[in-house]
A and B are shown apart, each in its own frame.
Chain A
Amino acid sequence: MYILNRQQRHVVNYSWMLVSLLLVACLPFLLFSVLYFKSFLLLRNFGLGDLIFSHSWHPSKGEFGFYPFIVGSIWVTLLAILISTPICLLTAINVTQYAKKRFLRIMHPVIDILAGLPSVVYGVWGLLVIVPFISRYLGPWLGIRTMGYSILAGAFVLSIMIIPFILNIIIEIFRTIPMELKEAALSLGSTKWQMVKHVLLRKALPGIIAAVGFGLARAFGETMAVLMVVGNVVKVPTSVFDPGYTLPALIANNYGEVLSIPRYDSALMFAALLLLVVSLFFNLLMHFFIARYNKY
């Protein structure tokens, strides 16, 4: 029954654990070094500032200005956050403070399903519903001619994708606010709404900010869904109805041509490196932010 005795099993298990742990612990550093190493070629020839702020993207001519993609990513992400945050906040307040308890139970599977839907499916839906909506209804209604493939489409699809994510965190935060605090406010004579405004939201504010931060990080790196609806035109967008191009989309769309143009692979790896750095930066920021506020 026992091939190895207890002591031997312990040693096997222990080594297995340490090896796995080492692998996991090295992962962020590995990611960074490999991508940095690969982008080094590019960085050697151009300064970091040039790469980030230059507008011209002509790889075949050897020009690698990432500005349009960075801006595209920022626009789409910020707009998505702008759309989703109030919706998440309002829904979270409703579901935890006002609506009946069983409603919260319905929300859980809804959030789970929305969270589990793959990026491509959101992209398909975006193509089917959002893009035509913008080009046929929203645009003309505002007097704008648009193909539908736009920053707005990307932002909208993205906002739906990050809603379950942010909503989950905020609901969790609201649930950890102790009943006693709420009861204390109510027993002083405040209405539910005043309690929500002055006690709940105030107490939950750091957590809400953290949730938004995480959502931001998540949105910034989202590839497929945005790629399918944002237009993929290399141009710094001047309005939300303009098509745009995001950093992840850049990488995804062009990896096939990587070998035919010199330094193209370096450029795409640099884009990946940028995404990694932004993501790590946000994670770090949120981590310390939460640590600071958890002192209470």
Chain B
Amino acid sequence: MKRSLKIEETVFRVLMILSTAFILLILGVIMYSVFEKGMKAISWEMLTSIPSGGYYYGKGGGILNAITGSMALAFGATILAFVIGLPVALYINVFLHGKKKLVNFIRFILDLIWGIPSIVYGAFGFTLMVLIGLQTSLLAGIVTVTLFILPIMIRSMDEILRTVPTGLMEAAYSLGSNKSELAFKIFTRQSVSGIITAVLLSFGRAIGDAASVLFTAGYTDNLPNSLMEPVATLPLSIFFQLASPVPEVQARAYASALVLTVIILIVSLFSRGLGKRYHKTKINF
């Protein structure tokens, strides 16, 4: 009896270790392949110039259009989502404090929209564009990506705002603060690190997503210079370069993937670092 149990335990323990190792291994393999292939093809020229006429067929140029385009798009979307999302999260936690039914209902709606695939937002954005008569543009891309990252941003901020203790609210109220002041001056300061994490997390998703920009942001070889013109993005740049029959161009796709990965890694690092730095003003209850 005991013996079979021992065997069972050992078997599962081995499987557990294998699984854990597998995950670590996979991360390693992914990083290795991206870096190895990417480093071979990357060059200063790639990072600082826009594609020349025959770029996709092997001629010179670079992906600066995509790098700057993605940055502009992701920044725009993150800022817009922040401007809409922070008030909503604050409203739920400060103004609706205690009103359980209403808060639960809103959180329920948030749950509903969280996890809707980005391509749905892309299709939605595309339809809106056609309806309004907007061409594929930076603006259309920003709006679509904003909608996509909004649920993520709000949920993350909501999680952190929930942890503010009621005692702090009482202290602020007893000084005569009104609800807005409590929300925008105190809740925000108390949750700075969480808010930063939420913003950076959303930024990371915004810059890496392809499906939401596929139909809405278009593509161009130029640097972004207007909201109304199409803009290049890194994910699409990778995709298009991969589709080329020329091996050099495919290699450049890996380099572009490397660039995107590095950006994401930096954003991740920042979110941990910045978060810790702003912890100093937070009161730990």
Chain A residues with a Cβ under 8 A of chain B: 6, 9-10, 13-14, 16-18, 20-21, 23-25, 27-28, 30-31, 34-35, 38, 86-88, 90-91, 93-95, 98-99, 107, 109-110, 112-114, 116-125, 127-129, 160, 163, 167, 191-194, 214, 217-218, 220-224, 228, 248, 251-252, 255, 268-269, 272, 275-276, 279-280, 282-284, 287
Verify A21–B239 contact, CB threshold 8 A: no
Verify B23–A163 contact, CB threshold 8 A: yes
Verify B268–A214 contact, CB threshold 8 A: no
Give min CB distance, A23 to chain B, whole Å. 6
Cβ contacts under 8 Å, B179 to chain A: 10, 14
Give min CB distance, A210 to chain B, whole Å. 11
Verify B5–A193 contact, CB threshold 8 A: yes
B257 interface contact, C-beta 8 A: yes
In the bound assembly, the distance between CA atoms of A44 and B149 in angstroms comes to 33
Give the secondary structure class of A's interface: helix
11 additional A-B pairs beyond A18-B91, A91-B22, beta carbons within 8 Å, are A21-B91, A87-B19, A93-B16, A116-B267, A117-B30, A118-B209, A118-B210, A119-B208, A125-B30, A275-B119, A279-B116
Verify A224–B235 contact, CB threshold 8 A: yes
Cβ contacts under 8 Å, B108 to chain A: 287
In the bound assembly, the distance between CA atoms of A98 and B147 in angstroms comes to 41
Known contacts A13-B183, A117-B208; is A34 also within 8 Å of B128 by CB? Answer: yes
Q: B240-251 interface mask toward A, CB cutoff 8 Å, 1 = contact, 0 = none? A: 001000000000
Give min CB distance, B112 to chain A, whole Å. 5
Q: List 9 A-B contacts (CB under 8 A).
A: A17-B90, A20-B83, A20-B91, A35-B120, A93-B16, A94-B20, A109-B268, A160-B26, A287-B111
Known contacts A21-B91, A194-B5; is A94 also within 8 Å of B211 by CB? Answer: no
Verify B124–A31 contact, CB threshold 8 A: yes
Cβ contacts under 8 Å, B228 to chain A: none
Cβ contacts under 8 Å, A272 to chain B: 119-120, 123-124
Tally B residues with Cβ within 8 Å of A. 84
In the bound assembly, the distance between CA atoms of A25 and B92 in angstroms comes to 12
Partner of A119, one of B22, B154, B211: B211
Chain B residues with a Cβ under 8 A of chain A: 5, 8-9, 12-13, 15-20, 22-24, 26-27, 29-30, 33-34, 37, 83-85, 87-88, 90-91, 95, 106, 108-124, 126-128, 147, 150, 154, 178-181, 183-184, 201, 204-205, 207-211, 214-215, 234-235, 238-239, 242, 253-254, 257, 260-261, 264-265, 267-268, 272
In the bound assembly, the distance between CA atoms of A160 and B28 in angstroms comes to 12
Give min CB distance, B270 to chain A, whole Å. 12
Partner of A120, one of B18, B122, B238: B238
Partner of B87, one of A13, A25, A30, A129: A13
Verify B29–A21 contact, CB threshold 8 A: no
Cβ contacts under 8 Å, B20 to chain A: 90-91, 94-95, 99, 107
Closest to A97 in B: B16
Known contacts A24-B154, A125-B30, A127-B242; is A116 also within 8 Å of B204 by CB? Answer: yes
Verify B88–A221 contact, CB threshold 8 A: no
Known contacts A118-B264, A120-B239; is A21 also within 8 Å of B88 by CB? Answer: yes
In the bound assembly, the distance between CA atoms of A13 and B188 in angstroms comes to 14
Give min CB distance, B15 to chain A, whole Å. 5
Known contacts A21-B91, A91-B16, A127-B242; is A255 also within 8 Å of B112 by CB? Answer: no
Cβ contacts under 8 Å, A127 to chain B: 242
Partner of B120, one of A124, A125, A218, A276: A276
Give min CB distance, A189 to chain B, whole Å. 12
Give min CB distance, A221 to chain B, whole Å. 2
Partner of B117, one of A88, A107, A279: A279
Cβ contacts under 8 Å, B201 to chain A: 116
Partner of A98, one of B13, B95, B113, B154: B13
Cβ contacts under 8 Å, B181 to chain A: 6, 10
Give min CB distance, B116 to chain A, whole Å. 5
Give min CB distance, A99 to chain B, whole Å. 7
Known contacts A98-B13, A113-B265, A163-B23; is A252 also within 8 Å of B208 by CB? Answer: no
Verify B37–A128 contact, CB threshold 8 A: yes
Partner of A269, one of B123, B204, B238: B123
